[in-house]
Structure 1
Amino acid sequence: MLFWLKTYLVYQTEFTLGISNGMQKFLLALNPLPFGLLLFGIALYFRGKKSYWIMMIVDLIESLWLFANILYYREFSDFISMAIIKSSGSVSNNLSLSISQIIHTSDFLVFVDVIILTLLLAFKVIKVDYSPAKRKGALLITVVSILLFAVNLSLAEKDRSQLLTRTFDNNYIVKYLGLNFYAGYSGYQAYHESVTKSQASSKDMDKILTYLKKHRADTNMAYYGKAKGKNVIIFHLESFQQFLINYKVNDEEVTPNINKFYADNNTLAFDNFFNQVGQGKTSDAETMLENSLFGLPSGSAMTTYGTTNTFEALPAILNQQGYATAAFHGDVGSFWNRDNTYKSWGYQYFFSENYYQVKSGYKIGYGLKDKIFLKQSTKYLEQLPQPFYAKLITVTNHYPYEIDKKNQAIEKTTTGDNTVDGYVQTARYLDQAFGEFISYLKKTGLYDKTMIVVYGDHYGISNNHKKAIAQLLGKKSVTSYDLAMFQKVPFMIHMPGLQGGINHTYGGEIDVMPTLMDLLGLKNTDTVQLGNDLLATKRNQTVIFRNGDYVSPTYSKIGSTVYNNKGQVVTKKLTKAQRKSVAQKEAYADKLLSMSDQIITGDLLRFYQPKWFTKVNKSDYNYKKTEALKQLNQAQVKEQTSLFFNNNKKSTESLFVTDAPELK
């Protein structure tokens, strides 16, 4: 009872778990019980003093685990994983403040029950029962603990589906299943990673390098180096699909600002660009975008491997070329394990929720509303020494696509599907925020000095809404091919002087990194990238989905069905040569997915690095607000190339004009 009480109080007072409904409140109170009963119940199988001291040892270990997580969470807004403990260097690097600065006297209250009960036992206030152990009672406690966990897990999955398969955030695991379960779960993950990595060798990497050398697309010299030395801004359009471009509701454009940007003479827009995410959704998109590696068959590569793996990511490459690198996100830093993964990828700065002012009404769903987020981001963006690489992740256009009435600027669609019909309203809000941000870039002069990359990370409307999708597309019904084509998302590259237009090549998120590297004039002949430059004249246009399906300009395979480029089923109508072509595409898809899984699960990049690249040292980065802002200030004083310095040390925040009603 004492253990349950102190755990629950720590949940409420020391951790920010985002409890948002009655079910989550119930599970928070329930989840310390199953494993608490299981572990304490071990003592009931023994008799006499041994039983009591086993219970006290369990309580002490549990209390130490609770205490350690209080300290770690206070510093990093995350829980200690077994992978972190295993790599002791990571722990020491992460504990940027001394224990004396982190610790609070009240933290030691978690040991009060241990101390009191130990004294009561020692002075025989609690008298030891020497009667034989009641094995049936002990077994009953074990069975009850297992049944309680089954109930806990069932209710958790009902409230948050795919909780364990996708693993969004350690906070979610603790909120739903408890700190004890999290310890075991992270231990299993660490063990699985360790076994896989121990079986990998440099020979595995050599085979992949040989394959990539033969299949790398040639650079299009007409575009190579066109953006050399330019700033790079990656603008993340959350859950934004290609069909929204020029889409109208009641003859009104849903996204007029993005449409204008898409059609600009200096914008390269790709109209056959597909999202290729799996269960990792946004984290998969980021992994592909900045590493040219696929996500995992299940779960998230960022969550499972982001802390410990070796990467050769775009932020690290650019950082070593003199770029300042930063990511901006108005949600907690631990979501998708960004606070650890971004260090592995070489991001110098990560401006997450604790860098922003958050008031009532400022947040919706997964973080700050886009207009408020972008407005506040300017005070950090203007301080980055130029050239910089900055990624801004918006969140308002996220499922379930609901937004307060004062921020609604367009009517809903009328498909009758409640999930789908609100989609255009949050998309319009995102479009307005995007327009305000572009206006700011123009006013400050950054617009002319920057390559602006805009992309949709994954679908907004899943294939489960077939009837609504058919209505949106003006069709009576949709086929599997239609649904595959519905996976298109925008990808645009804008820069003054860039020869723009609509590019029809088939590609996906896996191809972004090599495309940007060629535009930036960066050596890209010996990197480990599974995509190829979208601007290359001779490139494989087979776009691979995480489940092994693929689409291409000629034939597409969805499940076991082959379609031609008109969406007609041709599985049984192919000539011998055509069957060979389809088989080659299928083999290509299997090969790339297999290689990607090998690279990530085996941590194969630890065995290879180009001569010009230096491996990332995660201890170089500190995302604690006070330390990071101190480093940022020192960097801009040293370089004196930031927008702030170029503006005579005057802030440009006032140049970001927004109509966000919350700020009026």
Structure 2
Amino acid sequence: MKNLWTKFRTFLNTKLGFFVVAIILAWIKTYFIYLTKFNLGVKGSMQSFLLLFNPIPTTILLLGIALYMKGRKSYVYLLIIDLITSLWLFANILYYREFSDFLTLTLIKGSGSVANNLGKSILGITKPTDFLVFLDLIILLILLGSKLVKVDVTKLNWRIPTTITAIAAVLFGINLTLAQQDRSGLLTRTFDNNYIVKYLGLNSYSVYDAVKAAKTSAVKANANSSDMNSVANYINNNRVTPNVQYQGVAKGKNVFIIHLESFQQFLLDFKWDNQEVTPNLNKIYHAQNTLSFDNFFNQVGQGKTADAELMLENSLFGLPEGAAMVTDGTTNTFQAAPAILSQKGYTTASMHGDVPSFWNRDNTYKSWGYDYFFSSHYFKEKKDYNIGYGMKDKIFLRDAANYVQRLPQPFYAKLITVTNHYPYLLDKKNQSISKTNTGDSTVDGYVQTAKYLDQSIGEFMDWLKATGLDKNSMVVFYGDHYGISANHKKAVAKLLGKKDFNDFDNAQFQRVPFMINMDGLKGGINHNYGGEIDVLPTLLNLLGVDNSQTVQFGSDLLAPKHSQLVAFRNGDFVEPNFTKVNGTYYHTKTGAVARNLTSEQKQQVAAMSNQVATELSLSDRVIKGDLLRFYKNKNFQKVDRKNYTYNKTKALKKLKKQNKKQKTSIMFQNKNKSLLDLYHTDAPELEH
């Protein structure tokens, strides 16, 4: 035994021996992280084996680079490479915890557009065990620092590192072959990054993602009008006739789009601490003059809020990686709601209590044709006015009303709330309900910020009534994306009083509110299945705007032949009969796995899967290739970005001039006197 230990110590003191130990430690660490930090949906012995095996080839390949170096440089390079890969793994752990996905190159490139206010979020999701990703590096440093391992400066024969690189390549080839056998078309047909990681590993996924990003850049450069023709043909062949009964019922009305940040459908009528969490939104949801949808789903990908905005205003899907507003918002051609309505005589504005660069809004909104963008630069800023990702909702909506009253009518105004945003922090003076008791810090504060958001909505709606705007406006509410991710299943099960919360339950949990409130509107709760991709066609029909020429992947939710197939960004779907999650089909009504399908049912689910894949792919082609630059719509004039500026001084001067000319704003109609005295809020920060 002693002799064996001596041989091991001797081997460890060689450059090759230290390299082998580093490989083993990195492999064990990575596999442990895969099992404990990610939810990769591993099924079967082959997937289990590949998850265990896939860290080895790339670890050997990357750390093997150090063996090409001479003397002490080998050890330094090995430690640097280990540190870099550990940091990458650590970053993915944090990102995955809240977004159930992995970091992409396009997301990182656009990180400057979303980087502000992230400090508290990162601290809130970091767990002590996350730092285990650096344990192997610490062990290696201890071995060297304590001189338990001596640095071997002997130069290796060039054949050794070359052979090790070749071994890594062969092992990766075996890995890829086995993966392709278990899932054919792994690298060509997948919409879910989890598949790449569980089959090939995180390092391979990173390379795969970089290659895809390069290809995307090439696609735009090589795109031409014929690419647009194939998309247009699909759209025209699948275009759904809108609902005639509701056509034009809101013609000439103002439009408010109220963006309910991270707000999920289950919050409506939900009670905690013996009180309704959202009494104001509950009232709107059940009102006779509100069209409410209880099977409306968020369809976002990595872009989250940015994806929701893209779908809402363009009826185009978000990209499979990154956010299109960041990667393509500045340069692409769009046919967005603000531009469509502006050309119909509407004044268009978006209001958001954060910096204008967040999600690249200050550039994207110009491409979408927004006349005005009232960002945080337009509002009074005090330290206690802000929390998390911008102004507190009560203060923001009160201050936004100041600009609403100046907008020439009819107008299209989007108001983006932010207080109900992860990590769901709220100072005590604004808390009016206790936290839930799941024991999950991410989940338990959710009802507090949701109730605060609801209170702010109640105050804003009261102001609309006091000013008379409620009589000539259509107010649209929508939840942009989930508030609680799939990584909190136990807490959600407890919150909802369920014994279990599986992948099917999580798919159904993606419901978010969609409500259209308008005086005189024939309302009720509509059970049609739909999603954010369907909002624009629905609203344009209500407004009586011809929508027969636009390139949109959604359809009017009220249309008799509206497709109730709701596509998720990863290729899954939900519809009244079947739900697809990670390749498994479920019966939507019961949640049971759909076994022993008839041949007809098999054809149905196959056709639906194909339709989802086709539409996602075509939408991606439109964005990645900037194909709308080739599309001619006789009812739409392409946006010229040069015509827009969001500089505060210039924009307010333009607004004042527009008011003098059109004379239709409620403030102008009130003899140019402000109506803010009619706005009542209990925001403690505004008390004097």
| TM-score normalised over the length of structure 2 | 0.72
Q: Is the 8 A contact 1:344 1:618 kept in 2?
A: yes
- Written as runs of structure 1 = structure 2, the 5 A alignment for 1:405-554 is 405-554=428-577
- Residue 361 (structure 2) pairs with residue 338 (structure 1): yes
What's the CA shift string for 1:491-537, capped at 9, x where partnerless? Answer: 00011111000000000000000000100001111110000000101
Q: Is the 8 A contact 2:114 2:358 kept in 1?
A: no
3-state secondary structure, aligned to 1:368: coil
1:436 aligned partner, one-letter code: E
Which of residues 329, 337, 340 in structure 2 aligns to 1:314? 337
Separation in 2, partners of 1:262, 1:541: 21
Which of residues 566, 570, 575 in structure 1 aligns to 2:598? 575
Deviates more, 1:205-214 or 1:488-497: 205-214
Shift of 1:193: 5.4
In structure 2, relative to structure 1, the CA distance for the partners of 1:279 and 1:489 (3 Å cut) is same
Which of residues 86, 107, 120 in structure 2 aligns to 1:166? 107
- Written as runs of structure 1 = structure 2, the 5 A alignment for 1:217-256 is 217-256=240-279
In structure 2, relative to structure 1, the CA distance for the partners of 1:229 and 1:590 (3 Å cut) is same
1:204 aligned partner, one-letter code: D
- Written as runs of structure 1 = structure 2, the 5 A alignment for 1:44-63 is none
Q: Is the 8 A contact 1:542 1:550 kept in 2?
A: yes
Which of residues 606, 610, 627 in structure 2 aligns to 1:587? 610
What's the CA shift string for 1:542-598, capped at 9, x where partnerless? Answer: 000000000001111111211112234343321111111111111110111011000
Which of residues 654, 660, 668 in structure 2 aligns to 1:631? 654
3-state secondary structure, aligned to 1:338: helix
Which of residues 330, 351, 370 in structure 2 aligns to 1:328? 351
Separation in 1, partners of 2:211, 2:571: 27
The residue that corresponds to 1:268 in the other structure is 291
Separation in 2, partners of 1:159, 1:541: 35
The residue that corresponds to 1:84 in the other structure is none
3-state secondary structure, aligned to 1:464: helix
In structure 2, relative to structure 1, the CA distance for the partners of 1:218 and 1:479 (3 Å cut) is same
Which of residues 257, 262, 276 in structure 1 aligns to 2:280? 257
What's the CA shift string for 1:146-186, capped at 9, x where partnerless? Answer: 8887787677667767485534542567999xxxxxxxxxx
3-state secondary structure, aligned to 2:487: coil
Separation in 2, partners of 1:188, 1:257: 48
Which of residues 381, 401, 417 in structure 2 aligns to 1:394? 417
In structure 2, relative to structure 1, the CA distance for the partners of 1:571 and 1:189 (3 Å cut) is closer
Separation in 2, partners of 1:467, 1:160: 20
Separation in 1, partners of 2:649, 2:77: 47
Separation in 1, partners of 2:319, 2:633: 25
Deviates more, 1:472-481 or 1:449-458: 472-481
Q: Is the 8 A contact 1:343 1:621 kept in 2?
A: yes
The residue that corresponds to 1:63 in the other structure is none
Q: Is the 8 A contact 1:169 1:334 kept in 2?
A: no
In structure 2, relative to structure 1, the CA distance for the partners of 1:324 and 1:410 (3 Å cut) is same
Q: Is the 8 A contact 2:280 2:454 kept in 1?
A: yes
2:278 aligned partner, one-letter code: T
- Residue 672 (structure 2) pairs with residue 649 (structure 1): yes
Count of aligned pairs between the two proteins: 520
3-state secondary structure, aligned to 2:348: strand
- Residue 678 (structure 2) pairs with residue 660 (structure 1): no
Shift of 1:191: 6.9
2:107 aligned partner, one-letter code: R
In structure 2, relative to structure 1, the CA distance for the partners of 1:174 and 1:659 (3 Å cut) is closer
| Uncovered stretches (5+) of structure 2, i.e. residues with no partner | 1-69, 97-102, 119-209
What's the CA shift string for 1:356-389, capped at 9, x where partnerless? Answer: 1111211100000000111111111111100000
In structure 2, relative to structure 1, the CA distance for the partners of 1:259 and 1:148 (3 Å cut) is same
In structure 2, relative to structure 1, the CA distance for the partners of 1:588 and 1:150 (3 Å cut) is closer
3-state secondary structure, aligned to 1:361: helix
Shift of 1:140: 12
In structure 2, relative to structure 1, the CA distance for the partners of 1:172 and 1:388 (3 Å cut) is closer
Separation in 2, partners of 1:648, 1:207: 54
| Uncovered stretches (5+) of structure 1, i.e. residues with no partner | 1-134, 177-186
Which of residues 599, 612, 623 in structure 2 aligns to 1:600? 623
| TM-score normalised over the length of structure 1 | 0.75
1:539 aligned partner, one-letter code: H
3-state secondary structure, aligned to 2:475: strand
1:309 aligned partner, one-letter code: N
Determine what percentage of the aligned residue pairs are the same residue. Answer: 57
In structure 2, relative to structure 1, the CA distance for the partners of 1:628 and 1:144 (3 Å cut) is farther
In structure 2, relative to structure 1, the CA distance for the partners of 1:163 and 1:652 (3 Å cut) is farther
3-state secondary structure, aligned to 1:492: strand
Q: Is the 8 A contact 2:242 2:555 kept in 1?
A: no
In structure 2, relative to structure 1, the CA distance for the partners of 1:160 and 1:530 (3 Å cut) is closer
In structure 2, relative to structure 1, the CA distance for the partners of 1:155 and 1:545 (3 Å cut) is closer
What's the CA shift string for 1:330-360, capped at 9, x where partnerless? Answer: 0111111101000000001001111111112
In structure 2, relative to structure 1, the CA distance for the partners of 1:552 and 1:287 (3 Å cut) is same
Separation in 1, partners of 2:396, 2:626: 35
Deviates more, 1:135-144 or 1:271-280: 135-144
In structure 2, relative to structure 1, the CA distance for the partners of 1:137 and 1:419 (3 Å cut) is closer
Which of residues 202, 206, 224 in structure 2 aligns to 1:201? 224
The residue that corresponds to 1:382 in the other structure is 405
Shift of 1:297: 0.4
Separation in 2, partners of 1:434, 1:525: 34
2:486 aligned partner, one-letter code: N
Shift of 1:244: 0.4
- Residue 498 (structure 2) pairs with residue 556 (structure 1): no
CA RMSD for the aligned pairs? 2.5
What's the CA shift string for 1:585-633, capped at 9, x where partnerless? Answer: 1111011101100000011100113112100000100001111111111
Separation in 2, partners of 1:594, 1:201: 17
In structure 2, relative to structure 1, the CA distance for the partners of 1:142 and 1:560 (3 Å cut) is closer
Q: Is the 8 A contact 1:157 1:163 kept in 2?
A: no
What's the CA shift string for 1:7-47, capped at 9, x where partnerless? Answer: xxxxxxxxxxxxxxxxxxxxxxxxxxxxxxxxxxxxxxxxx
Separation in 1, partners of 2:588, 2:238: 24
Q: Is the 8 A contact 2:113 2:360 kept in 1?
A: no
In structure 2, relative to structure 1, the CA distance for the partners of 1:620 and 1:253 (3 Å cut) is same
Q: Is the 8 A contact 2:117 2:388 kept in 1?
A: no
- Residue 234 (structure 2) pairs with residue 216 (structure 1): no
The residue that corresponds to 1:37 in the other structure is none
